[in-house]
Amino acid sequence: MFLLNLSFAEFAALFSVISAGVFALYLFDRSRRRQTVATLRFWKPAEFPVQMNQRRKVQQPLSLILQILGIALLLLAIAQLKWGSRERNMRDHVLILDTSAWMGAQGSQGGILMQEAKGLALAWLKSVPSDDRVMVLRADAAATPATRFERNKQTVERAIRESQPAASALQLGQALRFASEFQKLHSESSGEIVYAGAARMGDVDVATVPANLRVLPVDGPSDNVGLRRMGLRRSSTDPEAWDIFVSVKNYSSSPRAVPIGLQFAGSPAGTRTLQLKPDAEMEATFTYRTRANGIVEAKLLASDPFPQDDRAVLEIPQQKQLRIAVYTNEPELLRPVLSANPNMVATFQAPAAYQPDPADTDLMILDRFAPPQAPKHDTLWIEPPAAQSPVPVSGQKAAAKLTRWTEDELLGAGLRTKDLEIEQSVTYRPAGTDIVIAESDGAALIVARPGAVKNVVIGFHPIKTRMRYELATPLLFANTIRWMEPESFRRWQLNGGHVGSVAVKTEGKVDPSAVRVMDEQGAPVPFTMADGEVRFFTNQPGNIRVMTGDRDYSYSLTVPEVGDRVWEIPQKVRRGIPARPVVGASSTDLWYWLALAGLAVLATEWFLYGRHRMRVRTATVSTMPPIATDGARKAS
């Protein structure tokens, strides 16, 4: 036998205080009452028997005993006296509160589904015996414990009230698995696993339904249409155009015609109307030309109960142009090579106009020219005079056959020549950190020197030799410039989607050490690489940047993820809030019998003693007839 709500000391203290109060009230009720009257003349003649009893003597002991007994029984009912063992009776429950994005949808009762789920969870919590412990598990794409197994209901209630819809879809199977495992590991006596929510989930199905599962279902709307993804990438044919694709899904069971509006920097940029079949997903493509940066917004122009997934936003970065200052006496030689890429702007000047640090310049090309002062930008030297060459000259070589190109990923990308012979070339003596791009029988003809200011030295003029007919010539310039200014050649791809697991398919061979995944603040995000994909997970809405060599993928994960289907709850699963607290079989609940007994005892006491007192008082107060005098009789 034990008390569920109170310890024995608490019960004894409460009982003592209340009993003392009842005893004091009893004595007060039966004490001599002091009254002031106009005169004592009518009291004396009546010769009323004066009670000589002491005031503090209990005159009706049975009345007092019945009152105290009734109060003791009611107090025991409040304390929930039970037969059995306290330890065996205590149980641990897990409350899985659905905090997926879908819980932000409008419910049938005016508020959002989350409010309905919270209300059900709080109602269930009230039915939990106070000795049981409850853990709150917030479930969306990940199952996150909000509390440990907690006996303090206020803490549990606070955790429930503070729960808010997240941005990802519900992974119910994972949450149920987590709850079961947690109960097995941390609980001696497992209670229920209670799920409160709309059960619209992102996983395929719930593999294993725990036997102790109880579901507090919330009915969600069924006519939602929402954006799933949004993507931007540079058009392959037009460097100023962006290809924008928007993916829309119809979650309802009826076909829908959904208009989509596209805006750039607040101005309309296009509209489409998609005819969506039930439970189908379609993609709309837009093309928009701009070099400016700005916000691209895709919006569904139809209202539904879940407006959070009707809008997606991406920010287009500004396209940076590479500015090259070319000092040459023969600009017509290099102009075709440098004008091939629209992202490059070359200005040609005579060597006499040389400045070591010209304004608006990212890179310099010095064509057979030795400047009086060393340049302060990255520089491509073409056949510099031997005395001012940044890389020491080792000699001259005639009929130099290019025998080897560098294997460097960037500098040697695509460089291939066969039996190419350079009529006359300067050879260089590279340092240890230098990269030999091209050599002829061990003699370095083209050398790259990394550092704060990068330099590439070419021992011959590619356009004035036989190499001008080779594909390797523009590639050599392209590789060199990209090695010096990689940012200018970075290819952008912008994607909008929802939080959760993201897989980025890379192009070509990617060095894992060169891959970086960062959030908005530049903090690294954990990722894995497998099968040519970079995979990462986030449950916080925001922007994620994935850099793989010359590629830059930007993910705007702000669209809430909506589960594809609603879980069909098996018939065997218990539903709703139990009418009576679920108590372990090892104990017997006595509180209602105790409450009835207490009320019966108090009623008996009132019937035997209190009723008489009340009747006398009410009767004497209410009946005050006027005195029957002659005058009064006549008046009446």
Element (H, E) at 229: strand 225-234
Considering only CA atoms, which of 593, 574, 484, 456 is closest in space to residue 213?
Answer: 574
Closest approach of other proteins to the CB of residue 49, in Å: 6
Q: Is 631 in the site for other proteins (CB under 8 A)?
A: yes
Closest approach of other proteins to the CB of residue 28, in Å: 11
Closest approach of other proteins to the CB of residue 608, in Å: 17
Closest approach of other proteins to the CB of residue 67, in Å: 18
Nearer to other proteins, 7 or 53 (CB): 53
* Choice from 42, 185, 352, 521 touching other proteins (CB under 8 A): 42
| Piece of the chain touching other proteins by CB under 8 A; list 9-17, 25-33, 154-162, 200-208 | 25-33
| Piece of the chain touching other proteins by CB under 8 A; list 240-248, 516-524, 536-544, 610-618 | 610-618
Angle at 427 between CA 421 and CA 428, to 5 degrees: 145
Nearer to other proteins, 372 or 631 (CB): 631
CA–CA distance, 58 with 252 (Å, rounded to integer): 77
Q: Is 628 in the site for other proteins (CB under 8 A)?
A: yes
**Cα-only R_g, the chain:** 44
Nearer to other proteins, 29 or 238 (CB): 29
SS (H, E, C) 576-608: CCCCCCCCCCCEEECHHHHHHHHHHHHHHHHHH
Q: Could you tell me how far CA 447 lies from the centroid of its own chain?
A: 50
| Cross-strand pairs, 225 | 250
Closest approach of other proteins to the CB of residue 622, in Å: 9
Q: Report 150-179 residues binding other proteins (CB under 8 A).
A: none
* Choice from 4, 6, 30, 143 touching other proteins (CB under 8 A): 30
- Three-state secondary-structure class, residue 435: strand
Q: Is 44 in the site for other proteins (CB under 8 A)?
A: yes
| Piece of the chain touching other proteins by CB under 8 A; list 328-336, 465-473, 576-584, 615-623 | 615-623
* Choice from 32, 56, 57, 418 touching other proteins (CB under 8 A): 32
CA–CA distance, 176 with 189 (Å, rounded to integer): 17
Nearer to other proteins, 45 or 522 (CB): 45
Closest approach of other proteins to the CB of residue 54, in Å: 11
Nearer to other proteins, 52 or 579 (CB): 52
The first and second tokens of residue 471, run together, are: 């594909």
Q: Is 34 in the site for other proteins (CB under 8 A)?
A: yes
User: Are 364 and 380 spatial neighbours (Cβ–Cβ below 8 Å)?
Assistant: yes
Element (H, E) at 12: helix 8-29
Q: Is 585 in the site for other proteins (CB under 8 A)?
A: no
| Piece of the chain touching other proteins by CB under 8 A; list 116-124, 256-264, 434-442, 613-621 | 613-621
Nearer to other proteins, 49 or 268 (CB): 49
For 238, residues 6+ apart whose C-beta sits below 8 A from its C-beta are 289
Q: Report 54-73 residues binding other proteins (CB under 8 A).
A: 55
Closest approach of other proteins to the CB of residue 27, in Å: 11
Within a 10 A sphere around the Cβ of 182, how many other Cβ atoms? Answer: 20
Contacts by 347-350 with C-beta closer than 8 Å and gap 24+? 347/323, 349/325
Within a 10 A sphere around the Cβ of 216, how many other Cβ atoms? Answer: 23
Size of the site for other proteins (CB under 8 A): 40
Q: Is 526 in the site for other proteins (CB under 8 A)?
A: no
Q: Is 627 in the site for other proteins (CB under 8 A)?
A: yes
DSSP 57-90: S-S-HHHHHHHHHHHHHHHHHHHTEEEE-HHHH-
* Choice from 8, 28, 43, 83 touching other proteins (CB under 8 A): 43
* Choice from 11, 25, 51, 111 touching other proteins (CB under 8 A): 51
Within a 10 A sphere around the Cβ of 248, how many other Cβ atoms? Answer: 25
Element (H, E) at 20: helix 8-29
Nearer to other proteins, 44 or 505 (CB): 44
User: Are 599 and 591 spatial neighbours (Cβ–Cβ below 8 Å)?
Assistant: no
Residues of the shown chain interacting with other proteins in the complex, contacts defined by CB under 8 A: 30-46, 48-51, 55, 613, 616-617, 620-621, 623-632, 634-636
